[in-house]
Structure 1
Amino acid sequence: MPNSPLNRRTFVLIGAGVAMAAGTPLPVAVAATPSPAPSGAPTPVRIVDDRANPATRALFAYLRQQQGKGILFGHQHDLTHGFTFTTPDGRASDTEAAVGDHPAVFGWDTLILDGGERPGDPEGTQAENIAALSWAIRQGDARGGINTLSAHMPNFVTDGNFNDTAGHVVGQILPGGARHTKFNAFLDRIAKAVKGARRPDGTAIPVIFRPFHENNGGWFWWGAGHTTSAQFIELFRYTVEYLRDTKGVHNLLYAYSPNASFAGDPTGYLKTYPGDRFVDVLGYDSYDQSAGSAAWLDGLVKDLAMVVRLANERGKVPALTEFGESGTEGRNPNWFTDLLRAIKANPLARQATYMLTWANFGGTHRAYVPYPGHALRPDFVRYHQDPYTLFAADLKGVFSTRATAVRNAPFTHLVTPTDRQRVTISRTTVRVRVTPSHASRVTYSVNGGRRRQLHRDADGFYSGNWSIDPAWLDNRAVTLTVSAQVNGETLTDSALVLLGKVAALPAGWVDDFEAYAGDDVSLSEAYSHVNSNTTTLSTEHKSSGTYGLAYAYDFTGAEYTGIGRSVDEDWSAFSSMALWLRGDGSANAATLQVVADGAYFEYGIPLGDTSGREFTAPFSEFRPAPWDTAHAGEVLDAAHLAEVTAFNLYLGHKSAAATRGVVYVDDIRAQ
């Protein structure tokens, strides 16, 4: 979603190069791709929902067969928001006005359910807005297209919107959390809308559901720095299992879509991957703020090729789930065709099945689809005319393939506690899910000790209390292992659980890097990340204590990289930002960024000094970020400092300077 803080250089990517959470499955290609069907037999497909209706199975088969034959063009809210019409009628669209055809993929969002986007109505009832989302899906289908549904869900703790990152929401809405029932109620509305989207013959219309997108960024409550990778994985899994198994929704394919960029490295992309059992479409989002620069195009193609390769290995559908030109309109008159040319030139990237751009919301928002009179319309027409781009009129036989779903084998996963969750009390609940069958026996053990039995509860989990010796609540880490006996087979999962409270840092402190007990994964989970970087703990280079931060950057696919952490404090009593920093001797630079009362204030520090010393940055010398024009001229005064929400540390690439290096940081604080 481009009108998120994505355009404010906020963060992406939780720790490229960090190992995946314990228990996260990574099935190999041999197990993922079914054998071809004999001539005349139904095509076998391995999908998340092995009880999906025929049209949904056919859609998956079509998208897989389409790879390398052309890329479907998609547009968010194509029929409901635009510059060329005011009242949605299910036919008018900026795409149709520009090129005489509708997109092949129609994007919608769960914001319709709260009336936040058309055809939803903010004054409408829940039933009316559920019906509105069903109507939108029917219109996309009637135009001959494929429907996809993203999910900008509200903050279930504060009742704020999706950008409200307060409240540690994910932990609160997972099973056992205080807001779990509230989350279920929202999923119920999604289920009703999707099940209610039917053709005149009664067929439930297939929808590609894309929840919790751009989760490696820090701008959504489900994103990096606001939850752990393991919590995100369990949230995604729970959502799939609830819709599929509890609510009986059988017209969904499920998409996973982190945000760019990864420099072509699958490690970061897979960091929060829910597993092959829970994903049908491997996607990712990438917006250009560089007028189609060679660096951006190279980075996009490299990442898209990586996504396609992973999808091919796993028998999934690859897609560029969001893309768009996020700079000033018309900066590059050949933007669409330059992008298409770059994708087509790469043998892997060209196998992406579809690419969807964002909505033309009107007003001051950008036009992601150029309309008549827009500077990029001639190029968009050329993009449309290219034989490799497919629009609605080009789609043939999307839902006609006879496909049969390969039955899913039994699978078990530990739901709570999640990997690297901190438990601070002497009793917690262990929950295990076994699908699709029942288990004859489910147990848990701690550090390989005595196995204790879990029993099936009213919510379908195998659960039981874990009593913890109070003496163990001393910041130690233990391994919790669960085992399920299913049809004579033993299925296991495990998690590293942290026991006991960690002493709170003094007011104004962002981090002293001591609380992670030497665990680099826990360090990475505490921060949001943008572009390619790796964070590890350093015992060699530090200011005090046992650990400092080693921040390794890589500018191969981007001109900057960054890490960030939520703060949510009143800093009005402080006058400066301080930290210990050891540069790498390069001509690159660091930028300290304080997000305060909605404004982004920055202060620059060179990286040439390799001695390692204390830096003090007076708040009076911070200035609004150049791109934050809404707050131009503002100062980081006491009024702003009273509402600090985040601290971010960026590293920026200077011309001809090193593209890789390591910077050491410690004791970040306001003083």
Structure 2
Amino acid sequence: MTNCAQRCRVTYPIRSAAPVMMTTTLARAPPGHHDPTGQRGAGPGHCPHCRARQTGAEHEPAALEALELPSQLPCKPKAVRDTRGQPTTPLGRCTPAPRESPPLGERPPRQTETYMPSSPLNRRTFILLGAAVAAAAGTRTTVAAAATSPTPLAGTPTPVRIVDDEATPATRALFAYLKRQQGKGILFGHQHDLTYGFTFTTPNGRASDTRAGVGDYPAVFGWDTLILDGDERPGAEGASEAENIAALSRCIRQGDARGGINTLSAHMPNFVTGKNFHDTTGRVVSQILPGGAKHAHFNAFLDRIAKAVKRALRPDGTAIPVVFRPFHENNGAWFWWGAGHTTPAEFIELFRYTVEYLRDTRGVHNLLYAYSPNSSFAGDPADYLKTYPGDRFVDVLGFDSYDENAGPTPWLDAVVKDLAMVVRLANERGKAPAFTEFGEGGTEVRNQQWFTQLAQAIEADPLARQVTYMLTWANFGGTKRAYVPYPGHLLFPDFVKYEQDPYTLFAADLRGVYSAHTTAVKNAPFLHLVTPTDRQRVAAPRTTIRVRVTPARASQVTYSVNGGRARKLCLDTDGFYSGDWTIDPALRNNRSVTLTVSTRLDGKTLTDSAVVLLGELTPLPVGWVDDFEGYAADNTALSQAYTHVNSHTLTLSADHKSSGSYGLAYAYDFTGSEYTGAGKPLDADWSAFTSLALWLRGDGSANGGALQIVADGVDFWYQIPLSDTSGQDVRAPFSEFTPAPWDTEHTGAVLDAAHLAEVTAFNLYLVHGSGAATKGTVYVDNIRAE
């Protein structure tokens, strides 16, 4: 499967270069909340789709800028309807008045609007006239619907419950907007829209592939912390830390000035090895949590994020809200914060620590926080929530998904099912739902109706259509993929149709993003155990317990082991209630215990607990993947040690094994997919071995299995049957492994000693055979290289 890491590095051929276009320079107010007319980019007498306009004589230079636009781009007006849904004269890409949610199955109508007159009135004069007209009509209006510093509306403020109950008014208003927007149209987003592209070479804060194609900016601008490391523009490798911080702040300001909402993802470096996010070695998460050897390095990185976000200010000093999306696609194995490289509990505590550090320690109050694992979840909320940090730490529920087949099914069906599930969860939990990353994967342009088919599928589902925004990846240019098609690209005509769909919203469509008058619901006290984490193995005779209590300060916090005597923890200089736990030697023999922490606040008892594995784990021999003896008889610990693709369950089996106390029971379910897979990350040199062996007891079905080894970046596999039910050793010579069918980049590669010197993963895939059983269980033991 193509993942975010691969998207950043894999190159693809592009059909043709962008054509050279003559441009015309137009002076206009920038779209969005910096247009005090409230027209979201519809300046005096101009069509915000083709940008044709007549300018007035008096405008404030600070709010105007020269935009270079393709002169040959025709105006392709969207259908415009009046408030009764009746057609009116097309006005180009005209911005609609606030809309009610349409009946299910129908598109929301475009509504008419009043344009600013083409006259020498300056913008302040027009604001006063607009307010006077509204007052005369007996209506209440916000003149600048998404103004930089919105004037609070009269009446009772709307309560919002978000992660940061001290968030700025604009940040609270953004969250209220995202909730209010559900079912009224889906905002289109693009990563690095202003800094990378095929239609420009030098970023200037205005050039954009999206705008070059459809005459408008995306409604959502995505940025990444790689800018802070100088690894992505406008950051620079030779620039100072302060210069790269300023570059990220500038990006946020530019996205805001173009009328969009800003999001920030985080491809953080490997803090253990010093390499990039692709390097999954070193058990990084365990090392950057409190008490870890690289904890200070992680804090220093968060400090840079805090500085960049806090310095992203509008001219009036308002901090620009940002949706922060750290540690995305964590259920995949391609990032150091992903499955197999950390446990779910470690991930949860890392996410929580990040929020608390930015919010409470560094005082960043213009962030909303997004959770975005990788799909597919088959619509299963339990699968989606496996690593969920909790409602206290998340504002936006999303997921990432890329279409490897570029066809209407099964990817579209799976996406719609997962979107519906996420929307349902968001509605239940008071969160904003988002499609945080999407795009065409695999071979480029296999389906020339890809965008419109995706939009139609989402809009046809009564729940999926309530997602607030969907963001696609960056156009890095050159031979890389074009996630946003540009003029001349095979998908460009379909992208134009996608933009013209009344339910898709770009920057000029946004209304009242920051106009809501809100108040934050105060968060109740919350306690959580930071270290040790659930299912963590503690081999030492002593370890430090750390507990966080927010926002109040507790008079007493205690811990107990297996329900025994309560012992007091003390508040330390880092804000944790901490203390040393001296472990009973009798427990340090590969046993598990339950550690419970508690306090009493506001008349309520707050508790948290973790199962901790105690004692040294006997290391496996060189070349071994697993013998299934090191999990303290705990199925959760077993499952957390593996990565999972599609539906299956892994448990320890005392009845079916080759030797020792346990083997693996691998129960599959092909109801929602044609394959499933379980894998274990490795960091091994197998160059001295010649084959892969394991004990296998099949279920007698016509389904198939595949042993996969990821070696030096190549996916090699060897197919095995599941028909034998006697239980016996299977040996697969490395010389008979071939590149997996999906790894077309390495067709013809050989699993030789050079590749075997860098083994990074073992996976066992099960594949549904034609007419074969959809459910069953196979048993495995003693997986090793020989």
Q: TM-score, normalised by structure 1?
A: 0.93
Aligned to 1:477: 592
C-alpha separation in 1, matches of 2:670 and 2:473: 27
The Cα of 1:134 is off from its aligned counterpart by 0.4
C-alpha separation in 1, matches of 2:586 and 2:701: 48
**SS of aligned partner of 1:497:** strand
**SS of aligned partner of 2:382:** helix
**SS of aligned partner of 2:718:** strand
Aligned to 1:20: none
Aligned to 1:628: 743
C-alpha separation in 2, matches of 1:471 and 1:539: 24
C-alpha separation in 2, matches of 1:588 and 1:78: 45
The Cα of 1:7 is off from its aligned counterpart by 11
Paired residues for 1:45-444 under 5 Å: 45-444=160-559
C-alpha separation in 2, matches of 1:280 and 1:164: 29
The Cα of 1:226 is off from its aligned counterpart by 0.7
C-alpha separation in 2, matches of 1:214 and 1:653: 26
The one-letter amino acid of 1:4's match is: A
C-alpha separation in 1, matches of 2:456 and 2:306: 39
C-alpha separation in 2, matches of 1:565 and 1:438: 41
Identity of aligned pairs, percent?
Answer: 76
Correspondence for 1:513 among 622, 628, 651: 628
262-271 or 583-592, which deviates more: 583-592
C-alpha separation in 2, matches of 1:68 and 1:212: 28
Paired residues for 1:528-567 under 5 Å: 528-567=643-682
The one-letter amino acid of 2:641's match is: A
C-alpha separation in 1, matches of 2:726 and 2:439: 43
Asked if 2 retains the 8 angstrom alpha-carbon contact of 1:7 and 1:326, the reply is no
Correspondence for 1:451 among 549, 552, 566: 566
C-alpha separation in 2, matches of 1:470 and 1:425: 10
Paired residues for 1:482-631 under 5 Å: 482-631=597-746
285-294 or 410-419, which deviates more: 285-294
Aligned to 1:466: 581
Asked if 2 retains the 8 angstrom alpha-carbon contact of 1:416 and 1:431, the reply is yes
Rate the CA distance shift 1:610–1:297 in 2: closer, same or farther, 3 A: farther
* Deviation digits for residues 480-525 of structure 1 (CA, Å, limit 9, x no counterpart): 1111122333211111111101111111110111111321110111
C-alpha separation in 2, matches of 1:291 and 1:618: 35
* Deviation digits for residues 456-488 of structure 1 (CA, Å, limit 9, x no counterpart): 110000111111122321111111111112233
Cα RMSD after superposing both structures: 1.8
Rate the CA distance shift 1:246–1:255 in 2: closer, same or farther, 3 A: same
* Deviation digits for residues 325-361 of structure 1 (CA, Å, limit 9, x no counterpart): 0122220111111111111111111111111111111
The Cα of 1:39 is off from its aligned counterpart by 8.8
**SS of aligned partner of 1:418:** coil
The Cα of 1:604 is off from its aligned counterpart by 1.1
Asked if 1 retains the 8 angstrom alpha-carbon contact of 2:3 and 2:334, the reply is no
C-alpha separation in 2, matches of 1:587 and 1:139: 57
The Cα of 1:314 is off from its aligned counterpart by 0.3
The Cα of 1:450 is off from its aligned counterpart by 1.1
**SS of aligned partner of 2:451:** helix
Rate the CA distance shift 1:3–1:174 in 2: closer, same or farther, 3 A: closer
* Deviation digits for residues 137-156 of structure 1 (CA, Å, limit 9, x no counterpart): 11110110000000000000
The one-letter amino acid of 1:615's match is: V
Asked if 2 retains the 8 angstrom alpha-carbon contact of 1:576 and 1:619, the reply is yes
**SS of aligned partner of 1:564:** strand
Asked if 1 retains the 8 angstrom alpha-carbon contact of 2:613 and 2:632, the reply is no
**SS of aligned partner of 1:294:** coil
575-584 or 457-466, which deviates more: 575-584
The Cα of 1:589 is off from its aligned counterpart by 1.9
480-489 or 554-563, which deviates more: 554-563
The one-letter amino acid of 1:611's match is: S
Asked if 2 retains the 8 angstrom alpha-carbon contact of 1:292 and 1:339, the reply is no
**SS of aligned partner of 2:547:** strand
C-alpha separation in 2, matches of 1:384 and 1:555: 37
**SS of aligned partner of 1:271:** coil
C-alpha separation in 2, matches of 1:295 and 1:197: 41
655-664 or 431-440, which deviates more: 655-664
Aligned to 1:652: 767
C-alpha separation in 2, matches of 1:427 and 1:601: 43
Aligned to 1:641: 756
C-alpha separation in 1, matches of 2:491 and 2:358: 41
* Deviation digits for residues 511-554 of structure 1 (CA, Å, limit 9, x no counterpart): 11111132111011101112222211222322222222122223
Asked if 2 retains the 8 angstrom alpha-carbon contact of 1:155 and 1:164, the reply is yes
Rate the CA distance shift 1:339–1:2 in 2: closer, same or farther, 3 A: same
C-alpha separation in 1, matches of 2:626 and 2:457: 42
Aligned to 2:46: none
The Cα of 1:161 is off from its aligned counterpart by 0.7
Which blocks of at least 5 consecutive residues in structure 1 are unaligned?
9-37
C-alpha separation in 1, matches of 2:761 and 2:505: 42
The Cα of 1:584 is off from its aligned counterpart by 3.0
The one-letter amino acid of 1:492's match is: T
C-alpha separation in 1, matches of 2:483 and 2:703: 33
Deviating beyond 4 angstroms after TM superposition, the runs of 4 or more aligned structure 1 residues are: 5-8
**SS of aligned partner of 2:233:** coil
The Cα of 1:600 is off from its aligned counterpart by 1.7
Paired residues for 1:13-52 under 5 Å: 40-52=155-167
Indicate yes or no: 2:5 matched with 1:4: yes
C-alpha separation in 2, matches of 1:6 and 1:602: 23
Asked if 2 retains the 8 angstrom alpha-carbon contact of 1:257 and 1:284, the reply is yes
Asked if 1 retains the 8 angstrom alpha-carbon contact of 2:199 and 2:209, the reply is yes
Rate the CA distance shift 1:294–1:398 in 2: closer, same or farther, 3 A: same
The Cα of 1:558 is off from its aligned counterpart by 3.3
Rate the CA distance shift 1:566–1:354 in 2: closer, same or farther, 3 A: same
The Cα of 1:590 is off from its aligned counterpart by 1.4
**SS of aligned partner of 1:350:** helix
The Cα of 1:582 is off from its aligned counterpart by 2.4
The one-letter amino acid of 2:5's match is: S
Asked if 2 retains the 8 angstrom alpha-carbon contact of 1:52 and 1:252, the reply is yes
RCO higher in 1 or 2 (8 Å CA, sep ≥ 6)?
A: 1
Rate the CA distance shift 1:2–1:613 in 2: closer, same or farther, 3 A: same
532-541 or 46-55, which deviates more: 532-541
**SS of aligned partner of 1:342:** helix
